[in-house]
Amino acid sequence: MTEDTQAEHQQAETQAFQAEVQEVLHLMIHSLYSNKEIFLRELISNASDACDKLRFAALSDDSLTGGDAELRVEIDVDAEARTLTIRDNGIGMNRDEVAENIGTIARSGTRRFLEQASEKGDLDGRLIGQFGVGFYSSFIVADKVTLLTRRAGDTADQGVRWESEGTGEYTIAQATREHQGTEVVLHLKEGEDEFLQGWTLRSLVSRYSDHIGFPICLRGEPAEGEEQGEWEKVNQAAALWTLPKADITDEEYQSFYQHVSHDMAEPLAWAHNRVEGVQNYTSLLYLPKRAPLDLMLQRDERKGLRLYVKRVFIMDAAEQLLPHYLRFVRGVVDSDDLPLNVSRELLQENELVRKIRSAVVRRSLDLLGRLADNETEKYNGFWDEFGPVLKEGIVEDTANREKIAGLLRFASTQDPDAGQRTSLSEYIARMQEGQEHIWFVTAENFKAARNSPHLEIFRKKGIEVLLLSDRIDEWMMGYFTEFDGHAFRSVAKGDVDLGSEEDKQDAESQPEQEELLDRIRHVLGEEVAEVRASRRLTDSASCLVIGEHEMALHMRHLLEQAGQELPDSRPSLEVNLEHPLLARMEQAEDASFDDLAHILYEQAVLAEGGQLDDPSGFVQRLNRVMLQA
């Protein structure tokens, strides 16, 4: 053993994987085996990213290339040793970066993701790329993986060797490497000999990685008398978005989407545009078919478009190019006009970026609009996955609010079993003659919305009501006041006047009933702002009503649970004077009357998705009334 080798071994450390990494490895190896060839796509994609990053870094320091300016990815096979090596001369990593990027999954929400993945049993399309786990796909086909790397700009003795058998631990050590970049050596499992065959590797590169903008070179079979074969470029090596649309097949568009998104599923739709004139740029935008499991859990994590300037990679998730409510859109923007040294801070202040962003938003919404108009089934699938995210745009993007509103879909009393399929335009087309408002109800869940007592008079009169049950809906409707000249009205807020004199007469109380209302007011005291006869109810005994601009009870409950302080607010109690319970209360003794009055209020709270301050007291009152009955 040489002195250098001894020094390297002395510095070797054995460390345990993060618990979440072990779980991801286990899930990946056992769940993705039917798609095992994707490991090559993931490793080539990582190598391409490393080359992109070095090319950008070399703009300000060309010494980083180490005199090797031809960036490339190499695939090397050693059939005798049964190893497959994917090598690049890109940016490389130092020891800290290897430990951070390979040994851990440094991201909150990992545990919840794994739980959801196990619950849904839907891992194939969502596991790869979910936590930057493309590297771990190596263990689908390899029983040992060796990674050798050196950060560009570091000295030869600052290389790093990382090795693991994909179980519970890995070793990391100092290593000597003459060149910057990374190579991943896969020691293939028994039965994986197909990945030692040149024709298999060529086929996989053609299928998954032909669009990579750097040469992918495969070492061929050695000629007789030679130890090693010649390198052969096996991909087109042209950035896909730079090619004319007529020259790109659907399969190539789909393959490029999988490269930029790490999504195994095909995209739902895409739009490819070249803008020339005052400014020149190309955009290639994709709509995913499925949402990542953490889309709402990880709202603050930036995802989105890759930014290139004159085909030079600048950054992976340029949040300045997309508003947050379109964070599901994937793709690239390549500008001819931005400076190559652009930073995230400069992007925020750049007028060209603002214009590109405006155009990208418009094209994204247009793409959704075409899908909604022409491919209803596909759009319904999109809405089921991303609807709550798109709703954020109603609040965040006032300039495009009308366009976003046209893309919204809702459940409705017209056909409550049809899911969220009704557009606002369809609702307006079905409105009754003389109907001025778009009526809606918000609730904690769909069942609560569908069964809300506030709907009773609307059902009786055949007036359609939108059923809103996403958590974001109450917040959204606070900013969404009208559409196409029709104001929104909540069936649970303010006074409901459907324009019928008969309804007004039915809701007017007689003197003896007014006395009943006064008795209820006296019992409930400060719990309610008012007790009044209802125009809403036909079957239920009572309901709670809040002011036009007040927050629904279920939303107040959520915010209070989150520790937010809210201004005091008291609902009004509306009672159905025709209900038998109210007739019984007129004859009740004082103690029994008090119980019934409180129950009348408490059942209205529960129907609203609210929470009782004294559940035990409610149970006791209910028991007393039941025993008396």
Q: Which residues of 233-264 are buried (b: 16+ CB within 10 A; e: fewer)?
A: ebbbbebbbeeeeeebeeeebebbbbbbbbbb
Q: Tell me what the mean pLDDT of segment 370-389 comes to.
A: 95
User: Mean pLDDT over residues 178-198, rounded?
Assistant: 95
Tens of pLDDT, residue by residue over 264-320, are 789 999 999 999 988 899 999 999 998 876 565 454 455 679 899 888 888 877 788
Element of type H or E holding 573: strand 572-575
| Comma-separated ranges of CATH 3.30.565.10 domains in the chain | 3-238
Identify residue 326 by its one-letter amino acid code. L
Distinct helix (H) and strand (E) counts, the chain: 22, 22
Contact status, residue 524 vs residue 518, Cβ threshold 8 Å: no
Q: Which CATH number describes the domain made up of 3-238? A: 3.30.565.10
CATH T-level assignment (fold) for domain 409-490: Rossmann fold (3.40.50)
- Crossing angle, helix 250-261 and helix 38-57, to 10 degrees? 70
pLDDT of residue 346: 73
CA distances from 469 to 463, 481, 554 (A): 19, 18, 10
Interval 552-600: pLDDT, tens: 777 777 776 677 777 778 899 999 999 999 988 988 888 899 999 999 9
pTM, two decimal places: 0.78
- Tell me which CATH code domain 241-374 carries: 3.30.230.80
Least confident span in 44-48, 352-356, 567-571: 567-571
Helix (H) or strand (E) holding 203, with range, is helix 198-208
Q: Where in the chain is the domain with CATH 1.20.120.790?
A: 501-628
> What is the tens place of the pLDDT at every residue in 54-78?
998 998 898 999 888 899 999 999 9
Chosen CATH of 501-628 out of 3.10.180.10, 1.20.120.790, 3.40.720.10, 1.10.800.10: 1.20.120.790
Distance from C-alpha of 208 to C-alpha of 40, rounded to nearest angstrom: 9
Other CB atoms within 10 Å distance of the CB of residue 56: 18
**Token output for 283:** 């955009």
Query: What is the average pLDDT value for the chain, to the nearest integer?
Result: 86
Is 215:237 a contact under the CB 8 Å cutoff? yes
Task: Give the CA-trace dihedral at 363, 367, 369, 371, to 10 degrees.
Answer: 180
Q: How large a percentage of the chain has pLDDT more than 90?
A: 57
Where are the domain boundaries for CATH 3.30.230.80 in the chain? 241-374
